[in-house]
Amino acid sequence: MVRLILDSSTGSYPVVIGSNLHRELRNAITRLDPTGAAIVTDTNVRPWALKVAKAIKRAGLKTSLLVLPAGERSKSLAQLERVLTFLERQKVDRGGCVIAVGGGTVGDVAGLAAAMWQRGVRLVAVPTTLLAMVDSSIGGKAGVNGRRSKNAIGAFWQPSAVISDLAAIETLPPASYRDAFAEVVKYAVAMDRGLFDLLQRNTPRLADRDPAMLERIVFRCVAAKALVVAKDERDRGPRAILNYGHTAGHALEAATGFRVSHGRAVAFGMRVAARIAVAMDLCSKRLVESQDELLASFGLPDRPPSADAKKVLAAIALDKKARRGRVAWVMPRRIGHAEPGHAVPGALVRRVVTRSLA
């Protein structure tokens, strides 16, 4: 088990990573001493949430459970309203807390409800997907989707504790597990050479979901993200490094109507970004090769994305227009170090994107 203490503008909080952490969860809640706890989860994670509820009840706390439909569609204003109404009905007061048990979907919608209810009650994150453990539970971004916009309605709301129990990973569907490695490789290439080496040396153990190895990986990812968030909690500058692979990645998602998953899209985006970086003489060809090999060893992509290059380029152009012409690409310089804020000539983007989809 490892424990980190992260600092934020609203105070510091523990992140605990390990297996079978019911006691740690109970201790964390006891320390917060809330007047009541409202657990939010989804239909697939319900059995896990019931275990969490049992563990907390043993601390003598009143708990209640709300189960949302599983899937991204729950990141909606309608489900947000359901959570808020639930908190109202349960009479959660300003001393209460919301416990989000689930992946990034539950974390984002429950997090936003916690930020809004009573103008902010404490949030405890119990992430159950690898993506939520390495990414969405850290950094304090909460939100839901608008009718046509992703994550556009949201707030910054830091958790009071994050308990990442790796035992939950056992039941995770293979595609969700695989996709999370796109973000893991992102941290490695953009920020942490040691993580890159660790991943290279341990792909078989990770394919087996070895909890001890996962503990080390999640720890390094959390530390990498925390470092950036500490410098730029509100995402006004340095935090942009976390967008490595996301410029072309988001464009691929948009161009395919979100048929390509986020992880596969980010893997594609990193391949594009690294090739652009080589063409601009910013990094070596060797980086592209090692990154490709590592992504492939995690099954990313499992097959080349089938998408219309023109549509992907149009989506990149749209993003550029929305940012008044300033698309800032995150470019890798060497393994473990990337730089945000690079302008890339349109012709080069066209060439690399077209080739990467051929």
Ligand X SMILES: NC(=O)c1ccc[n+]([C@@H]2O[C@H](COP(=O)([O-])OP(=O)(O)OC[C@H]3O[C@@H](n4cnc5c(N)ncnc54)[C@H](O)[C@@H]3O)[C@@H](O)[C@H]2O)c1
190 sits in which H/E element: helix 174-191
Identify each DSSP E strand in the chain by its residue range: 2-8, 11-18, 37-42, 63-68, 97-102, 122-127, 141-144, 153-156, 161-165, 329-334, 337-342
Give the contact letters, 160-199, x = binds to ligand X (CB under 6 A), - = no. Answer: --------x--xx---x-----------------------
The nearer residue to ligand X, 249 or 305, going by C-beta atoms, is 249
The nearer residue to ligand X, 128 or 164, going by C-beta atoms, is 128
Kindly state the number of chain residues that form the binding site for ligand X, as judged by CB under 6 A. Answer: 26
The nearer residue to ligand X, 136 or 256, going by C-beta atoms, is 136
Question: Interface with ligand X by CB under 6 A: which range of 13-21, 76-84, 97-105, 277-285?
Answer: 97-105
The nearer residue to ligand X, 102 or 275, going by C-beta atoms, is 102
Q: Which residues are registered as beta bridge partners of 2?
A: 17
197 sits in which H/E element: helix 193-201
Q: Give yes or no for residue 70 binding ligand X (CB under 6 A).
A: yes
Q: What letter represents residue 191's amino acid?
A: M
Report in angstroms the alpha-carbon separations of 241 from 205, 247, 289: 28, 11, 21
Question: Interface with ligand X by CB under 6 A: which range of 70-78, 192-200, 252-260, 328-336?
Answer: 70-78
Q: Give yes or no for residue 21 binding ligand X (CB under 6 A).
A: no
Q: Give yes or no for residue 71 binding ligand X (CB under 6 A).
A: yes
Q: What residues from 113 to 152 belong to the interface with ligand X (CB under 6 A)?
A: 128-129, 131-132, 135-136, 139, 141, 151
Q: Which residue in 18, 34, 96, 103 binds ligand X (CB under 6 A)?
A: 103
Sort 326 into a burial class: Cβ within 10 Å, 0-12 / 13-18 / 19+.
exposed
Question: Interface with ligand X by CB under 6 A: which range of 65-73, 91-99, 275-283, 331-339?
Answer: 65-73
The nearer residue to ligand X, 45 or 277, going by C-beta atoms, is 45
Distance of CA 152 to the CA centre of its chain: 16
**Rounded to the nearest whole angstrom, what is the least distance from the CB of residue 282 to ligand X in the complex?**
26
Q: Give yes or no for residue 105 binding ligand X (CB under 6 A).
A: yes
Cα separation, 152 vs 289, in Å, equals 36
Residue 199 has phi, psi (to 5 degrees) of: -65, -45
Q: Which residue in 44, 160, 247, 256 binds ligand X (CB under 6 A)?
A: 44
**Rounded to the nearest whole angstrom, what is the least distance from the CB of residue 300 to ligand X in the complex?**
14
Identify the three-state secondary structure at position 298. Answer: coil
- Of 304, 189, 313, 292, the closest CA to residue 248 belongs to 313
Q: Give yes or no for residue 247 binding ligand X (CB under 6 A).
A: no
Residues in contact with 136: Cβ distance below 8 Å, sequence separation at least 6, in sequence order? 103, 104, 107, 108, 127
Tokens of residue 226, six digits? 């925390």
**Rounded to the nearest whole angstrom, what is the least distance from the CB of residue 89 to ligand X in the complex?**
24
**Contact positions vs ligand X (CB under 6 A):** 42, 44-45, 70-72, 75, 102-106, 108, 128-129, 131-132, 135-136, 139, 141, 151, 168, 171-172, 176
